[in-house]
Structure 1
Amino acid sequence: MAADAFDYVVVGAGLAGAATAWQLAARGHQVAVVERSVPANDAGSSHGSARIFRYAYAEAEYSAWVKESLAGWEELARLAGQPLITPTGCVDYGQDRRPHELADVLERTGIGHELLSAEEARGRWPQFAFDTEVLWHQGAGVIDAHETVHTMVRAAVGHGARLYEDWDLAGARRSGAGYLLTNRRGEQLEAGHLVVAAGGWLPGLLGGLDLPAEFLAALPAFTVRQETAFHFPYRDQPAPGTFWPTFIHKRPGIQTYGLPGGRDADFRGQKLAEFNGGRTIPDASAQDGLIDPAHRARIIDYVKQYLPGLVPEPYAETTCLFTNTPNEDFIIDTADGVTVLSPCSGHGAKFAPLLGSLAADLATGSAVVPARFRPSLAAAAGRPA
C-alpha cells in the first residue's frame, strides 16, 4: 500500500510546528502534521495556559519582532473566538537585568514603558520587594499556550491539513525528490519537504534525518533542560479581572521569572521558575518529571526575600522542557529539503505566529529569514556561527 504523500510534513504539533502547518496550509499546500503524542502535550514545551508575552529585550531586533507578531496574534484571537493573551504588564528589574538599557531599547522601538525607582515601584506593587530601578511595560501579558496550539491546528486542518497523532518519527531518508518518513510502528508518509519542529526531541532526531554533514556541523549545540515551575498562593487574592504583572528579575548568579498561573494552577497564585535552573538531559526522552528538593528550597527562599505578596509554600509544581542554544537565538535553517525550526531558549512562545510565517517562507523559498537564525549561512561563508 502506497504511503500518503504531502507537499510538506511538519514534525511536532507544539507552538512552532502548529504555526508552521497553519501558514503552509493557508497558502494552499498539501500539509501533514505528525505528533508523537497529541498537540500541546505535557511532555513538550507548549502545554499549559501560562507563558510570558513581553517586549523587553536587550536587542532591538527581538523587541521589533514581538511587535511584528501582533498581527498574527490578532488573527489567532479572531479564529479562537477569544483573546489568547491576557494583558498584565511586566516588571523587569535586578542588577543584571539592566532596566535602563531595556528602556532605551523600548524607546527606540516605539513601545510604551516607564522607568521607575525601586521606591516608586514598591509603592505601586507592594507585593514585590524590588532591589533596583524597575522597567514597566504595560503591553506585556500571559499567553494561553494550549489554546494557541489548538487554534492553529484547527486552522491548519480547516485549510486541508492532516493531523497524525501518536505518530512517533523514527527517521527520514531521501526518496526521489523528497523524503520517506517512518514512525516507530513502521508506518510511512512521503514528504516533498520536511519541517522539523520537535523541541526537546530535536537532538535525538537530527542524526536520523539524512541531512548533509556540513549542515549538521553548522548547527549549534542544543542543550535540553528539565526545568521546574512552582506555584505559590497569593496572600491576598487579586480582585476578579485584575492580575499581578509578570516579572523578570536578574541578579548575579540567578534569573527568576513569574506570571499569573492561569488554569494551570486554578488561578490561585503566581507561577515562578528559575531560568535555566533545571538539570541538563540528553533530550526530551530522558525527562523524569522529578522535582529537585534543593531547587524547591532555593525558590522558597527567593519568595521569602523578594515576594512578600506570596505565601512561601508552593501548592503545585511541575516540570517542563527548555531547549537552548548557546546565544539564545532561534534556529530557522534549511538544507536539502529539510527545514529545522527550533525557537528555543525559553522565549519563543510570544513569536509563535511570526515564526510560522518565517518557517513557511523558508521552506517554500518565498522569502528569506533573518541571517542570525541560519547558522549554515555563516558556516558557508567561513564565519563563526
Structure 2
Amino acid sequence: MKNQWTSYLYGIVKVTIAGRGTERFLNDCMRENVVVWNVKRSKDNGLSFYIRLQDVHALRIVARKNDCKCRFEKRVGFPFLVRRSWKNSGFVLGLLAFLVVIFVLSNMIWGIKIEGASPETEHIIKKELSNIGVKTGKFQFSVKNPDDIQKSLTDNIQQITWVGVELMGTTYHLKVVEKNQPEEEELVGPRHIVAEKEAVIKKMFVEQGQPLTTLHEHVTKGQVLVSGLIGKEEEQKKVAAKAEIFGETWYKSTITIPLNTTFHVLTGDTKDKHFIQFGSFRIPIWGFGKNTYKTYEVEDDVYYLKFLNFTLPIAYVNETFLEKEEITRKYTVKQAKEAALDRGRLDVEHNLDDKEKVIGEKVLHQTNENGKVRLTVLYQAIENIVKTTPIVQGD
C-alpha cells in the first residue's frame, strides 16, 4: 500500500483470520471498501493482513457475515502512541517540560565576552550593551541583530575604532579595536623636510633643523623647506629635521548638477508582517492584508530558533515594508551653482585631515546646457605639505 506513513498517523491494525472462506472474507472486505495490505498466509491456513484504524468498524460487519474467526493482533500508529503515553502522562509531561526548558534556554543570552578592550573600555561597552537591551537572561530575538549592535557601539563609544559582534550559541563575542593614543616618536636618522606639493607657505613652525624658506613664499614639489644640516659648512652636523608647515594648495574640480532630479525617498510610513518560517516556507501569524504601497522597500529581520548548539530550520521573521515616494527636485541656475560648489568642496575636504581645510574657491568656467549646470572650480586649501627625505652622502 502506498502512503503508509499517512495511515500510520491515523493508526494501523494487524488482523488475523482463520476458518473457512478466508478468500471470500477478503473479497467482502474489498466490497466494503476496507483497504488491506501485506496479506500473508499463516501456518494454520489462516491469513494475516493490515487495515486502517478507521476501517475496523467495517471489518466487524464483514466478520459477522462469514464463518472466519477474526482477531486483532497488533495496533500501531500515532493514536495508539498517544493512548499509551497518556497512561504514562507524568513521564511524558516531564519530558516535554524538559525539552521546552532546553529550547527556551537555548534562545536566551547567557554570556557576553569582550576581547581586545581595556578594563575601562570594557565597562563602558557593557554599560552601552545594557542600555540597548543586550544583557544576560534576555531572549535573542528580542534584541538587535549583531550588525545593529555593532553600529550602535561604534556610534556611541568614542574610545573604540571598530568592534566586531558575533553570536555563537548563547554567547555574544565582541572583538574591540581601541583608539590608539599618540605614541612617542621613534628615533629617526638625519633627514631633510621637503615640500610634498606646490604651495604658498602660510604657517611654519620649525622645531629642529635649518629653515630654507619663509612665510608667503611659493615653493615647488620636492623643494627643501627645512635642512637637516646645521652649523657652519666646515662643522656641519646632521640632525633629523622636524617642523610643522602648512601651505596654501589648489584643487581643480569639474562638477555637473542637473536642474531637475527625480529620486525616491522614504515617507516614514511602514507596515509590519510577522511569519513563522520553516525552511523556505513562511506561515503568516500577524499583519494580514495586501500591501497597498505603490513603491516600497522591504527589510527582513530573521531570528532562527536554536536547540542547544544547533540552529533549527525554524525562524521568526519580521518583514517591514517601507513606503517610498517619487520626488522631483528642481533647481534654479543659481541654486544648482551653489549645490555644485558645495559638492566640490566636500569632495576636496574628504581628502583633508582635521587640521586642514578649504579656505576659498574660484569659478573658472560655467556652462548651462541640456538642463545641467557645469562648473570648473579652483579650490584653495590649507594643508600640511611636509614630507621627509633622508640625508644622503653629498648633500
Same fold (TM over 0.5): no
Which structure has more relative contact order (CA 8 Å, sep 6+)? It is: 1
TM-score (norm 2): 0.16
Larger radius of gyration: 2
TM-score (norm 1): 0.16
Q: Which one has a larger percent strand, Structure 1 or Structure 2?
A: 2
